[in-house]
């Protein structure tokens, strides 16, 4: 992947990831009067740290000039390397609610604990539950300790350039986008991506992250901006069009789910298999299931579907009188 040419003192670094798709994460450096603000940093590991250092050298930026590292959200491809950078004296910032999710970030058995119980209720087979039970924290996640700075919405303090935090949960519960007022660029992390719609998870029976995600998209839509610099893939030159496409994608999927339930009652697991009939590997099956459940929760809260707990935990359409 090639570097983007960005103006207004913004540097782009495409940093390799240990997997194929997406194969790179976008790291950005924003120039300030007394150094640089870095957005996201890639996965943990010596190899990735060397790659990052090589790129910085090419750009003639020294690690000591980076005065703040901001993580857009708590996924390993965006903050895995943060502890190595903190060891170099670079302070690390995340959104303020991140402290609620640090233990789950560092220990993936905690991360999937509630989801295992929830999956069972939604009709997932034993093999799937065993698979969830066997997940452990990968080394590329690194270890993340309490951030040095907890961000709130609005202008970032201790930074001279006018950078503003927008809380955009959905893909992750602590996801933020950063708005640079000088260039009118929004750094969107994985909230808005150019080609794929980001995965929307279900973490437990309470969360309604698809609803959060749609609200977050509308939030960005209402901010005066020119381009979106995403966490993966190319710069988005027509952000409004992309936002509309993403909303439409989820609308269509919701409609498909309601159509499936018009004539029969189905469990979350059965719906997933009808929506994704192709054979999926363990990871993609989990993502498909989590996302289907996110839709079911969303439709339940909108009073379009209801969950019939007494009848095999199946879902059905709410009949309007
Ligand atoms: Zn990502």
Number of residues that this document lists for the chain: 321
Kindly list the strands in the beta sheet with 227-230, ordered across the sheet, starting from the edge strand earlier in the chain.
Answer: 154-155, 163-167, 176-180, 185-189, 227-230
Domain ranges of the chain: 10-239
**How close is the Cα of 22 to the center of ligand 1, in Å?**
8
Low-confidence ranges of the chain (pLDDT < 50): none
pLDDT tens track for 195-209: 889 999 988 778 899
Ion ligand 1: residues, Cβ under 5 Å: 77, 190, 231
Measured distance CA(44)–CA(18) in Å, rounded: 10
Query: What pLDDT is attached to residue 274?
Result: 96
Does the 10-239 domain belong in CATH 3.40.50.2300? Answer: no
> Phi and psi of 267, rounded to 5°?
-85, 165
Instruction: State residue 59 phi and psi, 5-degree precision.
Output: -90, 0
pLDDT at 20: 86
pLDDT of amino acid 85: 98
CA 141 to ligand 1 centroid distance, Å = 12
Q: What is the pLDDT of residue 206?
A: 82
pLDDT at 204: 79
CA of 263 from ligand 1 middle (Å) equals: 38
**Residue 248 exposed, middle or buried by CB count within 10 Å (0-12, 13-18, 19+):** exposed
Question: What is the 8 CA–ligand 1 centroid distance (Å)?
Answer: 25
The token pair that represents 274 in the structure block:
């009808």
Task: Say how many Å lie between the CA of residue 232 and the centre of ligand 1.
Answer: 7
Whole-model pTM?
Answer: 0.95
The pLDDT of residue 311 is 63
């Amino acid at each position: 992947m090639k570097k983007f040419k960005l103006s207004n003192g913004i540097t782009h670094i495409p940093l390799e990831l240990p997997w194929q798709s997406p194969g790179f994460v976008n790291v950005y450096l924003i120039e300030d009067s007394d150094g640089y603000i870095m957005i996201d940093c890639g996965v943990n590991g010596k190899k990735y740290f060397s790659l990052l250092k090589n790129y910085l050298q090419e750009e003639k930026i020294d690690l000591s000039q980076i005065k703040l590292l901001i993580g857009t959200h708590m996924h390993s491809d965006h903050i895995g390397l943060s502890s190595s950078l903190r060891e170099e004296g670079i302070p690390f910032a995340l959104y303020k609610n991140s402290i609620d999710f640090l233990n789950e970030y560092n220990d993936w058995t905690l991360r999937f604990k509630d989801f295992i119980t929830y999956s069972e209720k939604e009709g997932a087979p034993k093999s799937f539950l065993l698979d969830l039970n066997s997940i452990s924290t990968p080394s590329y996640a690194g270890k993340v300790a309490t951030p040095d700075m907890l961000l709130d919405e609005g202008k970032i303090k201790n930074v001279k350039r006018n950078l503003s935090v927008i809380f955009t949960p959905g893909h992750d519960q602590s996801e933020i986008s950063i708005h640079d007022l000088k260039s009118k660029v929004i750094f969107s992390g994985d909230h808005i991506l150019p080609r794929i719609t980001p995965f929307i998870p279900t973490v437990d029976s309470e969360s309604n992250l698809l609803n959060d995600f749609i609200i977050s998209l509308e939030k960005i839509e209402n901010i005066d901006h020119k381009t979106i610099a995403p966490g993966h893939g190319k710069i988005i030159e027509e952000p409004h069009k992309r936002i509309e496409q993403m909303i439409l994608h989820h609308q269509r999927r919701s409609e498909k789910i309601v159509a499936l339930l018009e004539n029969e009652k189905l469990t979350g697991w059965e719906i997933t298999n009808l929506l994704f009939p192709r054979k999926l590997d363990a990871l993609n099956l989990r993502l498909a299931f989590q996302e289907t459940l996110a839709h079911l929760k969303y439709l339940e809260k909108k009073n379009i579907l209801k969950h019939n707990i007494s009848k095999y935990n199946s879902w059905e359409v709410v009949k309007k009188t």
